[in-house]
Structure formats: structure tokens, C-alpha cells
């Protein structure tokens, strides 16, 4: 990436990871509750969407880590 500073993917990844962990935790605690049968065709939407958010967060953090590693490699190879 360009100049100094933090890669925007890091705070985005952390935010999605925290929200995903909260939603996944809630979905895990309420697994098997009657509300899922009544409102979402028996699918634990909180659990599945929480896992999707965690997956997205891990992709963002992996991309940020890869960009930082590439940037560091370019700096050392140019010296």
C-alpha cells in the first residue's frame, strides 16, 4: 500500500471478528430454541451469519497480513 499508517483491512477485520464472535456466541447459546422453528424455518441464523462474519474477518486480516509482508519484502529488496 501507499505511505505509512495502518491498513484499513485490519480494523475492518477486527470489527467483523468481534461482531461475528458475539453473534456466533449468541447463536450457540440459543441453539435448539423454539424461536428458530417459528421465525427462520428451523435454521439458526445467528450461528451461521456469525460464522460468515468471522470468515470474512479472517479473509480481511489475511489480506492485510499478506500486503504487509509483501511491502516489507519490497523494502528489504530495494536496499
Q: At residue 42, does pLDDT exceed 80? A: yes
Residue 44 lies in a domain: yes
Residue 54 lies in a domain: yes
The pLDDT of residue 70: 79
Query: Furthest-apart CA pair in the chain: how many Å?
Result: 64
Q: At residue 8, does pLDDT exceed 90? A: yes
Residue 79 lies in a domain: no
Which residue range(s) make up the domain with 53?
9-74
Query: Mapped to the 3 state alphabet, what secondary structure does 43-72 carry?
Result: CCHHHHHHHHHHHHHHHHHHHHHHHHHHHH
Mean pLDDT of 49-76: 89
Residue 4 lies in a domain: no
Number of domains in the chain: 1
Residue 33 lies in a domain: yes
Q: At residue 36, does pLDDT exceed 70? A: yes
Residue 3 lies in a domain: no
Residue 2 lies in a domain: no
- Per-residue pLDDT band for 3 (boundaries 50, 70, 90) equals low
Mean pLDDT of 32-53: 91
Amino acid at each position: 500500500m501507499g505511505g505509512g499508517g495502518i491498513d484499513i483491512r485490519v480494523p475492518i477485520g477486527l470489527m467483523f471478528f468481534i461482531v461475528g464472535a458475539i453473534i456466533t456466541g449468541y447463536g450457540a447459546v440459543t441453539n435448539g430454541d423454539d424461536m428458530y422453528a417459528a421465525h427462520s424455518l428451523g435454521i439458526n441464523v445467528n450461528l451461521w451469519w456469525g460464522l460468515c462474519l468471522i470468515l470474512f474477518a479472517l479473509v480481511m486480516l489475511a489480506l492485510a497480513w499478506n500486503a504487509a509482508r509483501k511491502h516489507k519484502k519490497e523494502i528489504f529488496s530495494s536496499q
